[in-house]
Amino acid sequence: MKILLAALAALQLSVISSPYDPKKDPESAARIRKTREDFLQGRDVMVGASSQAHPVVVDEADLLSRARILATVRTSQQSAQARGIRSVLPALAIPAIPGCTRYAETPEGMRLPHSLTDNGMITAWDCGRYGVRIDRSAYGIPLEGVATEGFPRAEIFAIVNHGAVKRDFFETRGGRRQVALQWIGSKHAVDIVVATDTGGDFAQLYATALQILDRTTRTL
């Protein structure tokens, strides 16, 4: 009985739910429908939120870069292979974005009980002038610890493939740029970061992020 209760408790701790429920929050549903085109174009959607025209300015050390994405994921991949770490998720199998090549992929996240299996997978793409990091996590399964993933309902920018999406645009004082998307579904979470080493066109970075988001979450 104790083992069963522990298993049930672990399962409960690993469950997430989308912050979006049109039946319980019709005002948010109406707002999201009304601002869909602004979201797709990267324009201002809500007061105080970042956009292509109004990115959040951060210090250099606080932002990922193409080089940092590629280096950290490759290092993690080598470490996971040496330790025999696996992921409950399969390798990311989506059509590549033109100009981008898969660079590295590694298990990541929280460990499943009594195993060397993680609940997530990180994939890095090298797109020449920018790098892409795709974090996928599976929930609704027993994990060794408490899993938290999500964001407040008020921060939902759009609904893509039945999941709630939050977005951010960042820029350093030196001109490096980053676009970040967070997607929360009923049993999976996806985080996408597209970042440059120097400069960068927000429109291109955002278009890439949206394409990857759609292709990654379409079957989740």
Range of the domain at 42: 2-217
Give 193 or 4, the one with higher predicted confidence. 193
Please state the domain count of the chain: 1
Is residue 9 predicted with pLDDT exceeding 80?
Answer: no
Query: How would residue 13 be classed by pLDDT, with cut points 50, 70 and 90?
Result: very low
State the distance between the two ends of the chain, measured CA to CA, in whole angstroms. Answer: 33
Both tokens assigned to 188: 């999976």
| Greater model confidence, 122 or 12 | 122
**Average pLDDT of the segment spanning 101-116:** 95
Residue 152: the pLDDT is 81
Give residue 14's pLDDT band: very low, low, confident or very high (50, 70, 90): very low
3-state secondary structure of 140: coil
Give the pLDDT confidence score for residue 49 in this predicted structure. Answer: 85
pTM summary value: 0.85
Model pLDDT for residues 170-188, shown as the tens digit of each residue: 999 999 999 999 999 988 9
Residue 40 is predicted with a pLDDT of 85
d(CA 137, CA 92): 12
Q: How far apart are CA 5 and CA 13, in angstroms?
A: 12
Non-local CB neighbours of 122 within 8 Å, separated by 6+ positions = 73, 76, 105, 106, 107, 108, 133, 134, 135, 136
DSSP code of residue 42: T
Residue 58's DSSP bridge partners are: 172
